[in-house]
Structure 1
Amino acid sequence: MTNSTTTQKASRTVDLLVIGAGPAGMAATIFAKMKGLDVLLVEKTDQVGGTAATSAGTLWIPENSQGKAIGDKDSIAEASSYLADLIAIHTPRTDRQRAAYMESGVEAIDFLHNNTDVKFLPCGEHPDYHAKPGAAIRGRAIVPAPFDGRVLGKEFERVRPPIKEFMVFGGMMVGKMDIPRLIGRYRSISNFIYSAGLFLRYLTDRLRYSRGTRLVMGNALVGRMYHTLLQLGVRPQFNTSLDRLIYENGRVTGASLNGPNGREIIAARRGVILATGGFAHNKAYRERLMPKPTPQFSLANAANQGEGVTAAEALGARINEQENGNGGFWTPVSVTKRADGSQGLFPHLSLDRAKPGVIAVNQDGKRFCNEAVSYHDFVEAMYRSGDGKAIPAWLVCNRDFIRKYGLGNIYPGTTNLRRFVQDGYLVEANSPEELAARIGVDAKALRATLERYNEQAARGVDEDFHRGHSALNRFNGDPTVKPNPCVAPIALRDLCAVQVWPAEIACSAGISTDEDGRVVDMDEHPIPGLYACGNDMASIMGDSYPGPGTTLGPAVVFAWRAVKNALGNAH
């Protein structure tokens, strides 16, 4: 243990100091405040939400009350069995963590839902990501209810916006359930009225705000949490970052912070909770904890530089370095060029890869995986492809596919692809050989790959990679395509391709903790007064991604458990 003491007088003493205003930090602050603690929440940037503000906002909570309310049947015992079979690495500590997660998940969510403005809705059908014993088709995923950002008034600008690729008309949020009605706006009166209402609301919003105030997905979760904080009389101290932790007399007693007025010491009677978002943009940690070649792209908030991980490690905390160097939860991304000339990333989560009529090929021009698997598993397949030949990979389809389903940053219904071709996002060709030359893969192999795929697709099967066999595959496919909603032939004309790269949506490696979020040292002993949650905390799922909401579920639940432990931790 490395001592980090100070003789400087504390400028303020609180019960609990929370560092980071993403959902984990905001949830911890809400819990602590509602339990009667004097809590200070500090945030490095000038906005709340972190990476979650740009996410889908789903939480994986087995046997949740929201699902039960609509008749979903789930079992914590089955969910526990599913994780036990899925996750490769088991230790007494991590097994206790997962048991604690199952024990407290519903309790934590119900406390928020029943006592605050943080409301949740059931997802209905939303399959787990692996066909393992105990997997569920529905009942485990919940999402935040849409939120009217106008109730925040001027504070609305404190909510970090989604990525630009997830907004239409330059600032309007669209949820997954909105897409079919917007695409089919001219197919029925109800769809037209719905779509027109969204657009008129957005136009009205832009008279007063920098973007639309109808918040969905992760932005709704962040907005609701921030609104709850303000209702509780808590305002984060913005533009304040962690310098170092203070360790005195065998425990963490506070932290040194860098804020608008310079450096200050905050004393914390019951402890410090680290929720700084993980190490996503820390080059040294990326090279140490992520696979090779180290991914060059990240969807995490650019402010996530690993201050929490660094400060904890300086006090002797154990950093979970997974055996295979995975270190992240992944999605394939395509690189976009924005109107202002900046570079963006579009995550290929579920809207295109599983649809019938697209394949992924590596640099040999060959398929390397079931394209309809989860985003995390797709990237793992990119790494398993060998010799880096699937980094980057190419999604290959034709114009008809794009018109019907879209492709990455190209929305469904798009017929004029010129802009995307000109800025290099999309590659077009009239034959497999021409496409192969333009994307730099073997021409004979690409033609053979397409012809083999087409022969199988004409029969509605994928004998090579079993696409369309799992519930998850079919859920993200096109149910109107029979007999397999995930496969259809690709015409060998008007071919199109988009390049995709691996990127993490969150860190899975991080600070090792116990079942109450207490940071542990190299001997697995808790460091008194120090907690971690969110992406600072090493994932209880190891390097596995069981289902939708794998990061946000534990973020909220271990914030809850950390606060409950801190309630009995005064000094």
Structure 2
Amino acid sequence: MASGETYDVVVIGSGAAGAMAALRAAEQGLSVLIVEKAHKFGGTSATSGGVMWIPNHGLGGEGDSREQVMEYLASVTSGPVNPEKLAAYVDQAPQMAKYLKAAGVELIVSPWPDYFPDKPGARADRSLICPTYDGRRLGDDRYPLMREQFNRFKLFHRYAMDLTETFALMMQQKGWRRVAANIIRRYWMDRSTRKVSARDRRFTQGAALMGATYEAVFKAGVKLRTGTKLENMVVDAGGQVTGVEVSSFGRTSTIGARHGVVLAAGGFEWNQELRDRFFKVPGLTRHSSSPEDANRGEALIAAEKLGADTEHTGEGWWIPTMTLPMPKASNYHEIHQAAFDVGRPWSVCVNRNGVRFVDEATGYDSFGQAMVADQEKTGANCPCWLVFDAKFRAKFSAGGLMPWAHTPEHKVPADWWDNYIFRADTVEELAAKITVPVDALRQSVNNMNHYAKTGVDPEFGRGGNIYDQFFGDPTVAPNPNLGPIDKPPFYAVPINNGDLGTKGGIRTDARARVIDVNGKPIEGLYAAGNCSGNPFGDCYPGAGGTIGPAMTFGFIAANDIAERSGNQRAK
């Protein structure tokens, strides 16, 4: 085992939390190494929507305040929440965003409603995004090495799309064909990049955030090592963490850390043993929509060996997903998010008893929580069914099944029918195919057809708030989320309770220090992002509720390390 290499700070994981911790520590004059298990950097964050929930950010809009933020969070969080940690997030998140912007990362205020818009203190301007980033600014040697977006975030599995383009195509808004043509033309006109890589130089969504952040990270002199996995923590006789043991291509080595180790290696959603240990309804690793087999909880396992406590481990950042074979590789499967599909008009979601159980247009995490609750109650959920008619099929995606304009019936692979996608001429025939009680499904559909006429869903209030309506169809009246399910053929796809990662993990305090089972900090050890417990408990308050805290507590951890080492500069 080789050893002897030492840095002031070692960061485990190259996603948003790790990148921010490294950037801030380096800016404070500390030498920093990022260790990344994968062969590409950027972590799960680079594959995400790249949204940060930063309340009271002060970067646009008026009227938000600390008091309003705390009022909102008090109304939506439940269960045990560390008030000091929550307050640290609320106070430091705006400071982190201003620092990120000063470092050269452009931030744009998004009009995304908070996920509980009817609660006191809710707003629609707390989510921040990054504009499209030119990936080649990282250098032609580095730009292909950032983790790519999933196929589901690309047009025809190739062309990068920003959020505006994505929603234009998703909703088939006026001029959507022109939008698609412009995306394709822009890619092929970029002849110089095509000589370097087939990857689109346009980094969008999570790749835009991580690309711009890593430009600053590399400029600050941070070192990055990929293909290197955390094995264990190195601890001195007094119990202080002084480094890490890592492995790469079968060789192990130790790397010293003079002032601190920051764990930012993601959650445990791809570790079935940990899912079975912590989750009420474990689900399967392969239903996760994070990068396959990436986040296996190595940081959590290593920290627990030192006696670290855990928190909020019973919940994931839930999102409905569905599964389809990969194009041209039918023996392999691909996970597709269905976060907004389940709340579109001309559709309904039912459990395996044929009964509705949720406002389908609610926030995707709340949808997942409802799946778990219904599974515990009835044993007939996880998966549930998304049922829709020909009007829905013509206009909207159903997970990985694209609308007719993209994937007409004759282009749907034969092995998909009645295995992944079910189709029938009547609701009754569809119920028989998916083995759901006929009378119950017929009643659920009839109810939705009545609600579509009145515009009111008396069961769950679908379409009754601005969040639901934000993802509805404005051409549908009187309720943009309700439309009659009455035009054959009728379809159904199974919906699993997928996730964007895990909400809980290593217990940390307001300074991002890892806390042991006796309630004391483990000296020299910090954690941020999904490998640690989030500040909201079981709640997902708004778009970017994962990345916002990840970057904020990475920022906090770096500040604490710098202050303790005597290297802290003016904020």
| Same fold by TM-score greater than 0.5 | yes
Q: 82, 85, 89: which is aligned to 2:72?
A: 82
User: What is the SS of the residue equivalent to 2:7?
Assistant: strand
The one-letter amino acid paired with 1:27 is M
- Does structure 2 retain, via aligned residues, the 8 Å contact 1:337–1:423? no
Does 2:269 correspond to 1:280?
Answer: yes
Name the counterpart of 2:119.
Answer: 132
Residues 213 and 9 of structure 1, relative CA distance in 2, 3 Å threshold? closer
Structure 1, gaps ≥5 residues long: 1-7
Q: Deviations over 1:185-244 (max 9, x none)?
A: 9965xx666543321222234443232121111111122222222222334111111111
1:256 and 2:245 are equivalent in the alignment: yes
* 1:517 maps onto 2:512 in alignment: yes
Distance 1:9 1:367, change over 3 A: closer
Give the alignment of 1:6-25 within 5 angstroms: 10-25=3-18
**Counterpart among 151, 156, 162 of residue 143 in structure 2:** 156
C-alpha separation in 1, matches of 2:267 and 2:407: 41
Aligned equivalents of 1:253, 1:23: Cα separation in 2: 23
Corresponding position: 1:384 with 2:377? no
Q: Distance in 2 between matches of 1:506 and 1:427?
A: 29
What is the aligned residue count?
551
Alpha-carbon distance, 1:559 to partner: 0.5
What is the root-mean-square deviation in Å for CA atoms of aligned residues?
2.1
Q: SS where residue 22 of structure 2 aligns? A: helix
Q: What CA distance in whole angstroms lies between the structure 1 residues aligned with 2:427 and 2:179? A: 41
Partner of 2:295: 304
Distance 1:185 1:279 in 2: 36
Q: Give the Cα separation in 1 of the matches to 2:324 and 2:250.
A: 38
Contact in 2 for aligned 1:376/1:545 (Cα 8 Å): yes
Code of the residue aligned with 2:26 in structure 1: it is K
Offset of residue 274 of structure 1: 0.5
| Aligned partner (choices 14, 21, 25) of residue 28 of structure 1 | 21
After superposition, the C-alpha distances for 1:394-424 in whole angstroms (9 at most, x for unaligned) are 1111121121223222334346124436232
What CA distance in whole angstroms lies between the structure 2 residues aligned with 1:254 and 1:247? 7
Could you say which residue in structure 1 is the equivalent of 2:50?
57
Q: How far apart in 1 are the matches of 2:343 and 2:309?
A: 39
1:477-488 matched pairs, under 5 angstroms = 477-488=472-483
- Please say if 1:443 is aligned against 2:438: yes
1:370 equivalent to 2:355? Answer: no
Describe how 1:179-258 pairs up with structure 2 within 5 A. 179=166, 181-182=168-169, 194-203=179-188, 204=190, 205-248=193-236, 249-258=238-247
Q: Is contact 1:346-1:408 (8 Å) kept?
A: yes
Whether the 8 Å CA contact 2:132–2:162 is kept in 1: the answer is: no
Are 1:44 and 2:37 counterparts?
yes
Deviates more, 1:367-376 or 1:260-269: 260-269
> Helix, strand or coil for the counterpart of 1:498?
strand
Q: Could you tell me whether the CA contact under 8 Å between 1:129 and 1:545 is conserved in 2?
A: no
Q: Return the match for 1:146 from 110, 132, 151.
A: 132
How much has 1:143 moved relative to structure 2?
0.8
Distance (Å, rounded) in 1 between the aligned partners of 2:509 and 2:248: 30
The AA in structure 2 aligned to 1:110 is K
Do the aligned partners of 2:283 and 2:382 also contact (CA within 8 Å) in 1?
no
Summarize deviations over 1:378-399 as a string: whole Å, max 9, x none.
Answer: 1111122223312211111112
TM-score calculated relative to the size of structure 1: 0.92
CA deviation profile, 1:422-480 (whole Å, cap 9, x unmatched): 23232111101110111111112111211122122111111111111122111111122
1:85 & 1:184 partners in 2: Cα distance?
A: 32
Among 316, 335, 343, the residue aligned to 2:307: 316
In structure 1, distance between residues paired with 2:484 and 2:106: 43
Change (3 A) 1:438 1:51: same
Deviates more, 1:419-428 or 1:550-559: 419-428
Question: Which of the residues 312, 325, 337 maps onto 1:337?
Answer: 325
Say if 1:41 and 1:415 are closer, same or farther in 2 by CA, change over 3 A: closer
Given residue 452 of structure 1, which amino acid in structure 2 is its aligned partner?
N
- 2: CA distance between counterparts of 1:217 and 1:502? 23
- Give 1:549 shift: 0.7
Contact 1:421 1:428 (8 Å CA) reproduced: no
TM normalised by structure 2 equals 0.92
From 76, 87, 94, the equivalent of 1:99 is: 87
Q: Deviation per CA, 1:533-565, whole angstroms, max 9, x where unpaired? A: 011111111111111111100000001110111
How much has 1:284 moved relative to structure 2?
A: 1.9
Task: Name the % identity.
Answer: 33
SS in 1 for 2:522: strand
- Counterpart AA for 1:416: P
Judged with a 3 Å threshold, the aligned counterparts in structure 2 of structure 1 residues 451 and 175 are, in CA distance, closer, same or farther, namely same
| Residue 388 (structure 2) pairs with residue 403 (structure 1) | no
Structure 2 counterpart of 1:3: none
Aligned to 1:558: 553
Contact kept? 1:48, 1:226, Cα under 8 Å = no
8 Å contact kept, 2:263–2:531: yes
